[in-house]
Structure 1
Amino acid sequence: MQDELDEGGGKQAYKDYISALRRWLVPHFGDTDIAKIDLAALTAFDAWRTEQNEKPFSQSGIYNHNAALNRVLDEAELHGWLVKSLRPTLLNKGIKSESRGSFTDAEYKKIYTALRTWHKKTSNSKAAATREVLRNYVLFLANTGVRHGTEALGLRWRNIEWHNKDGELYLFVNVDGKTRKRTAVARDNTQEYLERQQLLNPRLSYDTLDELLSAQCDELVFVTRLGDVATIFNLNRAFNALLDELGLKVDAGGRAGTLYSFPHFYATKNLQSGMTTHELSAQMGNSTAMLDKFYSKYSPLLNADLHSGRQVHRNAKKAAKDEGRSVAELAFDMLAGGQLDEAGLAAAIGVGRTGYVVTEEIVMKALAAKRDDLIDNGTLLAILNG
């Protein structure tokens, strides 16, 4: 696996498997005949790792251990060291992982505002340098959907490029994801954060971000002003200290907010703006099914304006104002043109909302719509009765 990674191939998940082998599997099974790893041996291993970890493992953690051990068993079978009929079945009885905590818009603003000066609040040069990177790192995660850790910290400047589409320039981030490679489109303000990050690396001498990206530079992106590559450990420690100082260690649901929370924050913001899970899937590298499963429970809250009809009503008012027409006139014309259905018509003119007034114009247009079979009797009565 390491050979494939060194050659630029392989999966990012290989790094997790290698870590599982070195940290857990080899220390426990290192002197064990591969053909003697049976259910009893696996049960003993589970008890040992739980004791070493001082708490039960999550399902995702055990999945990595099982995937790594399966690679070993595959190799043993290939060389004839293990008979297929004796190969053990690997089980996963770990604790189901809870969804990570997230941040509200107000909390996010509090975090990035504090990060502007937080590096000045320590006399330790290494800590200050990490905090400077942390500022750019947080803003990058929140505006790209790239995952904290291997995805973001493995980025090199050559992985970032400008892309011209229909005369417009977009900033593309080519990510070697958890399961596959993908291209994420960064929000426009990400350019500012990358320009600031560029200036920190003492080994870079490019005058502009454009020059740096054009050079296809192989330097890692998140490097401190001391020339050190930012690590997961240092960034996590710095961010946790900041959250502790801001009183944001735990969200309203009792879950801890971490740097791993930012993909959730990014997804929530995009769904709230009307992006579909299908569109989000390509950007974030998650399956549509997973996004639907996880975020479906948030839909009523995220899209309260949409579900309540208020957004439709607001949009109709704005469109009517722009065209110099009344909301009712525009809405009924859109109904006739097939651009609104009956529910959309009712929402647009404000049926059922506080302040809704049945004007003579609305009555006449509703009756005409009923005459033309554009609305049914139920919709007509709802419009006339408010």
Structure 2
Amino acid sequence: MDRWLNKLEAEAGDDPRRVRHWKDCRSTALGKTGFAKYFGKDDVNTITPNRIDQFILFKKANSSAENLKPTTVKRNIVLLNVVLKFAHADRLLTFLPTMPKVRTKDNPRPWFEHAEYQRLHNAARDKAKAAKNIGDSEAADYWDELSDFIIFMVGSFLRPGEWPELKHKHVKIVTSDPPYLELDVIKSKTTQRKSVTMQTALSAYKRIVKRNKRSPEAYVFKPTYLNRQTARERMADAFEALLDDLGMKEDVYGRKRSTYSLRHTSLMLRFIKGDNVDILALAKNAGTSVDQLERFYLNRINVADKIVSIQSLRRGAARRY
């Protein structure tokens, strides 16, 4: 256990995201109802499927919550499996026990309908125009940047943790028909990747360059903040203030919206407005999996929005149908 946690700590280095992951793993493993507490110093070879089931019962019995969330149980099982694989790789474990399956309920991701998305970036642009009218160029740039940020994010499929490290040298303008941006996503939740955008992101990017120039080493958003975590927080503050002002902090189901909702919006709009979207290509471009798209997005599509695709037939097939 200690060797596994030490390895995570060493790999984390100064990366804030990895440090948080290491701390979360340590808390899950070493907490008062964690698997390290239950199994103690037992030989890892004594950890059988039956003992893992007993651990789950132990965790539920000693939880302060009345109903332990399945996601909490699943996280413990997943991390326990990681530790056992680590032990197996070090030849401390002769075989890997079968891990129990924990059923979890997928929580729908809050997003913005197309009209809401337009209302958002237009409201920020209106605030910029109002600031310009009174000669406040700093406020005008602040709101213009937020408007372009909203458009860029919906057009690029980026996560909130991916845009802060995006520099102009990571952005390539591709003059095809239609034109688009090719992004080098260097700090991703999954893996570094190249990602192509919708044409709307290109339009927003051109306005950003016009305001701030295109120095290769400069950050695309919040370029004056060298601390990129602070840049991310400041953008989130501005976005949430706009949501509050427009009464859009929650969706119709009471789910709280955040900058992550812009990524959810970009994916949902692809399925709603796209024609015969290749979900494998979309998953790769967005740095996710087909399974994730099916679980969190495809099953929420209103079939009425896709009635034309559902009823479409290959040319000449109508008579035979």
Q: Into which bin does the TM-score normalised by the smaller protein fall? A: 0.5 to 0.7
- Among 29, 33, 42, the alignment partner of 1:25 is 29
Paired residues of 1:17 and 1:67 also in contact (CA < 8 A): no
CA 1:68–1:197: 2 relative to 1, 3 Å: farther
1:111 Cα shift?
1.1
Structure 2 equivalent of residue 336 of structure 1? none
Opposite residue 147 of structure 1, the aligned amino acid is: R
Structure 2 equivalent of residue 248 of structure 1? 248
CA 1:141–1:46: 2 relative to 1, 3 Å: farther
Structure 1 equivalent of residue 275 of structure 2? 274
Question: What does 1:187-266 align with in structure 2 at a 5 Å threshold?
Answer: 187-194=198-205, 208-209=213-214, 212=215, 215=216, 217=217, 220-223=219-222, 225-231=224-230, 234-266=234-266
Structure 1 equivalent of residue 298 of structure 2? 295
Structure 1 unaligned residues grouped into runs of 5+:
122-126, 201-206, 313-338, 344-374, 380-386
Structure 1 equivalent of residue 182 of structure 2? 172
Opposite residue 229 of structure 1, the aligned amino acid is: R
Paired residues of 2:112 and 2:265 also in contact (CA < 8 A): yes
Structure 1 equivalent of residue 154 of structure 2? 142
CA 1:157–1:100: 2 relative to 1, 3 Å: same
Structure 1 equivalent of residue 116 of structure 2? 107
| Other structure's SS at 1:107 match | helix
Question: What does 1:1-386 align with in structure 2 at a 5 Å threshold?
Answer: 1=8, 17-28=21-32, 32=37, 33-35=40-42, 39=52, 43-45=57-59, 51=65, 56-57=68-69, 59=71, 63-78=74-89, 83-84=93-94, 91=100, 93=102, 95-116=104-125, 134-148=146-160, 150-163=161-174, 170-175=180-185, 176-194=187-205, 208-209=213-214, 212=215, 215=216, 217=217, 220-223=219-222, 225-231=224-230, 234-271=234-271, 272-276=273-277, 277-292=279-294, 294-295=297-298, 298=301, 300-307=303-310, 340-341=315-316, 343=318
Paired residues of 1:236 and 1:259 also in contact (CA < 8 A): yes
RMSD over aligned Cα, in angstroms?
4.7
Opposite residue 281 of structure 1, the aligned amino acid is: A
1:113 Cα shift?
1.9
Greater alpha carbon shift after TM alignment, 274-283 vs 227-236: 227-236
Aligned length: 292
TM-score, L = length of structure 2: 0.66
Structure 2 unaligned residues grouped into runs of 5+:
1-7, 132-138
Paired residues of 1:268 and 1:302 also in contact (CA < 8 A): no
CA 1:116–1:226: 2 relative to 1, 3 Å: farther
% same residue:
21
Paired residues of 1:173 and 1:184 also in contact (CA < 8 A): yes
| Other structure's SS at 2:181 match | strand
Opposite residue 228 of structure 2, the aligned amino acid is: V
CA 1:109–1:208: 2 relative to 1, 3 Å: same
Structure index of larger Rg: 1
Opposite residue 181 of structure 2, the aligned amino acid is: L
CA distance in 2, matches of 1:20, 1:250: 28
1:18 Cα shift?
2.2
